[in-house]
Homo-oligomer: A and B are copies of this chain.
Amino acid sequence: MQRIEHHASFGGRQEVWQHASTSTGTAMKVGVYLPPAALKGEKCPVLYWLSGLTCTEQNFITKAGAQQFAAEHQLILVAPDTSPRGEGVANDDAYDLGQGAGFYLNATQAPWAPHFRMEDYVVQELPALIEQHFPASDARGIFGHSMGGHGALTLALRHPGRYKSVSAFSPIVAPSQVPWGQKVLKAYLGDDQAAWRQHDAVALVASAKERLPLLVDQGDADEFLAGQLKPGLLQAACEQAGHPLTLRLQPGYDHSYYFIASFMGDHMAHHARYLRA
């Protein structure tokens, strides 16, 4: 772990680290916000943020305004990059496949399988590193935006017991049923649609072993709402399964970080409630 950036922020410190990942076989960058209590060595819960398509570790740490709430609730905030990157890593000219579009799963298909192992990275390798190098407790929460909202929901549903809290902004809730998801699931996992459903929140909710309450915010002026996001599918699946969901349709809000920042305080309070319970 090598620290490549650090800035005082709201009494704590925003850092960026780089390390060689055994999951992806590449160098990975990750934003780590340490709240004031962590700087004093007190163990703090860790909240993982997963970003959307095209993002790096920078978007969240510069635009979401989350540090003030992490300082208030004394949470460590961890924001990894969205995929492996670099020469020798497969890529595609489209913004929604390959580098910047890891979709938080382990690819099984060529040419993606060697490096695109973001599920292993986010669920196992990164928490182990964080808990080793920082004053982190083993209370973990996860949230994200768009592709990262998909990541937060599916990883929490696929790994019962691993997370104490989960939430999402404008998530892709049913990748099996929308163009963004169908394109990457076919590329990364092949034609077997049973494999796709293992990475589809709407499908996973039906058989979830743990009924972790979901908090989802969605702007109703989001250009991707009708075509790619379809939160109504998650609402129907949760009602069917009896899975607790708070879905808030926010009038006038779009898909941008302006939307995320506007409701960041609510999400951080939600996570703090569970992570400090």
Residues 4-21 of A at the B interface (beta carbon under 8 Å): 7-11, 13-14
Contact of A8 among B7, B9, B68, B259 (CB under 8 A): B259
Q: Quick check: B7 and A256 within 8 Å, CB to CB? A: yes
Residues 63-122 of A at the B interface (beta carbon under 8 Å): 63, 65, 67-68
CA distance A65 to B68 in the complex (A): 10
User: With an 8 A cutoff between CB atoms, is A128 at the interface?
Assistant: no
B residues near A262, Cβ cutoff 8 Å: 8-11, 67-68
User: With an 8 A cutoff between CB atoms, is A261 at the interface?
Assistant: yes
Q: Quick check: A68 and B259 within 8 Å, CB to CB? A: no
Q: How many of A's residues come within 8 Å of B, CB to CB?
A: 25
List chain A positions with a Cβ less than 8 A from chain B.
7-11, 13-14, 62-63, 65, 67-68, 219, 221, 250-254, 256-259, 261-262
Q: Assuming A10-B262, A65-B68, what are 16 further A-B pairs, CB within 8 angstroms? A: A7-B254, A7-B256, A7-B258, A8-B221, A8-B252, A8-B253, A8-B258, A8-B259, A11-B262, A13-B252, A63-B63, A65-B65, A65-B261, A67-B258, A67-B261, A68-B262
